[in-house]
Amino acid sequence: MVFAKIQGSGASKVKMIIDSDIDEIYENSTVSVEKLLGKQVLITGAAGFLGRYFMSLFHLINQRHPENPVEIVALDSYITSSNTEDQSWQRTSPEIEWIFGDASIGAQLPNKFDYIIHAAGIASPEHYRANPLETVKVAVDVTRSLLEKAKIDKSRFLFFSSSEIYGDPYPEFIPTDENFRGNVASRGPRACYDESKRMGEALCWIYENYFDVHACIVRPFNVYGPGMMPRDYRVLPNFATALYRNEPLRVYGHGRQTRTFCYITDAITGFLKVLIETEKPDVYNVGNPEPELDMATLAKLFSEISKSNEGFELVKYPSSYPEDEPNRRCPNIKKISTELGYKPKVDLNDGLARFISWSQANYTDELTN
């Protein structure tokens, strides 16, 4: 069984999913995207999962407003990014300048940016365990250099932190709001990611309070959707890889650890609200608090939606994956909902169906081996 085969042929249908997602963000969003018109934007991690959605949205905005386009400098090192779709417009559009290299290059550019989106990072546990120093560098050193650029240019700055900064929250702090200070280990295989993101947040606070930089922070909670590649190695790409191979889904550990999941269109809407509409710098959770599922239940739901008959199995954590993962993670989004009108719209069943259809048409033998 392959979900994409049941649903119809690959490329055109899959392109419709991506295009529909971008249209959904543009048409149904409550974000004032017109504030981006005629502005200069620097985005790091532009070829990554989140970055590509930003880039696709900017492209659509420019198509709709050719007389006053968003001017974009797109940075990516391709350390963890991969791009399987034909997005040649990104290479040829006159409003987009692509720079392939270290994200710190952005601080050296002569452009005067109105917005800086620092979305670069090594977010997958397998990747940051394999690249701990690079993980720290992009969250700390690069963040500081880009904040310096924001100080000089008077840019609005958006730092992509993570729900990982909360560590393993105590039960009384779940759902977790922005005031929880965290239950985080400063040593261990996850520390390079968790602690570097916390330091990145500290730098944002310093530049806000000492240098008057409008530096906002988002803490994403398990964002997913089309664009997540097999070598991401997080739970949903792992499930999609097993589905592609006609194998049982693999759930690490006991399967009782719980998460909530936020579809990419809802997440991008939240990020844009924080970037564009905040009156003062602040920090916001971005996610979907419902439903909170344990991983065994998630595997059953994934199998049901994909019509897989392979089931799932509990397996030991591979040596490449940090075992000390949080037991529960669920966001309290009252702050962003109250202040910025953020409300997730895509339910989990719908979001999983879109991701499954996209993954089964885009995953290949080469990518999944």
Per-residue pLDDT tens digits for 29-55: 788 888 999 999 999 999 889 999 999
- Residue 17 has a pLDDT of 85
- Residue 368 placed within a domain: no
Please indicate, yes or no, if residue 291 is contained in any of the structural domains: yes
For 238-256, what is the mean pLDDT? Answer: 95
pLDDT above 70 covers a percentage of the chain that reads: 92
Which residue's entry shows tokens 């889904």?
249
133 token code pair: 């120093």
> What is the pLDDT, as a whole number, of residue 310?
93
In tens, the pLDDT along 303-334 reads 999 999 999 999 998 877 776 788 999 999 99
> Would residue 282 count as lying in a domain?
yes
Residue at 303 is within a domain: yes
Residue 3 pLDDT: 36
SS3 291: coil
Residue 324: its pLDDT value, please? 75
Question: CB neighbours of 27 closer than 8 A, spacing ≥ 6?
Answer: none
Q: How far apart are CA 50 and CA 41, in angstroms?
A: 15
Dihedral angle computed from the Cα positions of residues 46, 51, 56 and 57, in that order, rounded to the nearest 10 degrees:
-120
| pTM listed for this prediction | 0.92
Domain assignment of residue 15, yes or no: yes
Q: How many whole angstroms separate alpha carbon 273 and alpha carbon 342?
A: 8
pLDDT of 1 > 50? The answer is: no
Residue 335 lies in a domain: yes
Instruction: Express each pLDDT in 95-142 by its tens digit.
Output: 999 998 888 899 999 999 999 999 998 877 777 888 899 999 999 999
Number of domains in the chain: 1
State the residue range of the domain holding 115: 3-362
Q: Give the whole-angstrom CA distance, residue 304 versus residue 35.
A: 42
Q: Is residue 369 part of a domain?
A: no
CA end-to-end span of the chain: 19
If we measure between CA atoms, which residue out of 350, 180, 229, 210 comes closest to residue 281?
210
The verdict on whether 115 is a catalytic residue reads no
pLDDT at 14: 52
**DSSP letter at 80?**
S
Three-state DSSP class for residue 76: strand
As a whole number of angstroms, the distance between CA 193 and CA 178 comes to 18
Which of 217, 193, 223 has the alpha carbon at shortest distance from 203?
Answer: 217
| CATH assignment of the domain containing 352 | 3.40.50.720
pLDDT at 29: 72
Give 57's strand partners. none
pLDDT in tens, 157-205: 999 999 999 999 999 999 999 999 999 989 988 898 999 999 999 999 9
Amino acid at position 328, single letter = R
pLDDT at 313: 95
Cα-based torsion angle of the residue sequence 143, 148, 151, 152 in order, rounded to the nearest 10 degrees: -140
Catalytic residue among 26, 193, 321, 342: 193
E strand map for the chain = 40-44, 71-76, 96-100, 115-118, 156-160, 214-220, 223-224, 249-252, 258-259, 262-263, 283-286, 293-294, 312-315, 328-329
Mean of per-residue pLDDT scores for the chain: 90
How much of the chain, in percent, has pLDDT values that exceed 90? 70
Give the DSSP letter of residue 108: G
89-93 long-range contacts, Cβ below 8 Å, gap at least 24?
89/59, 90/55, 90/59, 93/59, 93/62
Selection from 77, 41, 23, 40 nearest residue 158 by Cα: 41
pLDDT band at 11 (very low <50, low <70, confident <90, very high): very low
Local structure of residue 226 (DSSP, 8 states): T
Res. 4: pLDDT tops 50: no
**305 near 349, Cβ under 8 Å?**
yes
pLDDT at 267 over 50: yes
Question: With 80 as the cut, is the pLDDT of residue 240 above it?
Answer: yes
How much is the pLDDT for 328?
A: 95
CB-based contact 284:270 (threshold 8 Å) = yes
Contact assessment for residue 93 and residue 59, using Cβ atoms and an 8 Å cutoff = yes
Q: Is 236 a domain residue?
A: yes
What angle separates helix 49-64 from helix 10-28, to the nearest 10 degrees? Answer: 70
- How far apart are alpha carbons 203 and 122 in whole angstroms? 18
